[in-house]
């Protein structure tokens, strides 16, 4: 198995557990407070990783355009997490998480359009199935 596949599987497992932990964690507090705690923990752990792994030495090598893409990515992550927590607070985790993960459709469209990644029949079928699943979930 290639390393990136293993990393993706570990990410999937952690994200699945995260949704359940978040739902339980925000039961008696606002979504914003829960997100604040989560983000503080993430920031602290990543700062420790940056210090331990000496990753801060790479900062000067990041180009101006890379900085802008990373900054905008941080902003869109914040927006995504904010609304994810708002949805988790009010909705069923099974629905919210499934709808959130359907963001892969947006990612795939943008990867074809912006990154010029190849479009294969396998990806098109998988994307169609995800879209169909999303439609089934939100259809009233």
The average confidence (pLDDT) of the chain is 94
Tell me the DSSP string of the chain.
--HHHHHHHHHHHHHHHHHHHHHHHTTTS-HHHHHHHHHHHHHHHHHHHHHHTTGGGGGGGS-HHHHHHHHHHHHHHHHHHHHHHHHHHHS-HHHHHHHHHTHHHHHHHHHHHTS-PPP-HHHHHHHHHHHHHHHHHH--
Tell me what pLDDT residue 48 has: 97
Tell me what pLDDT residue 1 has: 86
Mean pLDDT of 30-58: 96
Mean pLDDT of 63-68: 97
Domain boundaries, the chain: 3-92, 102-140
Q: Over the stretch 72-119, which tens digit does the pLDDT of each residue have? A: 999 999 999 999 999 999 999 989 998 998 999 999 999 999 999 999
């Amino acid at each position: 198995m290639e390393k990136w596949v293993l990393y993706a599987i570990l990410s999937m497992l952690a994200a699945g557990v995260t949704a359940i932990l978040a739902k339980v964690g925000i039961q008696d507090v606002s979504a914003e407070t829960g997100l604040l705690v989560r983000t503080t923990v993430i920031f602290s752990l990543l700062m420790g990783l940056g210090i331990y792994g000496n990753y801060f030495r790479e900062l000067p090598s990041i180009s101006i355009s890379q900085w802008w893409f990373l900054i905008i990515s941080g902003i869109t992550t914040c927006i995504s997490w904010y609304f994810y927590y708002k949805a988790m607070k009010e909705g069923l985790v099974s629905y919210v998480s499934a709808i959130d993960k359907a963001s892969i459709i947006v990612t795939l469209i943008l990867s074809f359009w912006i990154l010029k990644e190849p479009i294969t029949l396998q990806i098109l079928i998988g994307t169609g199935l995800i879209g169909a699943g999303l439609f089934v979930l939100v259809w009233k």
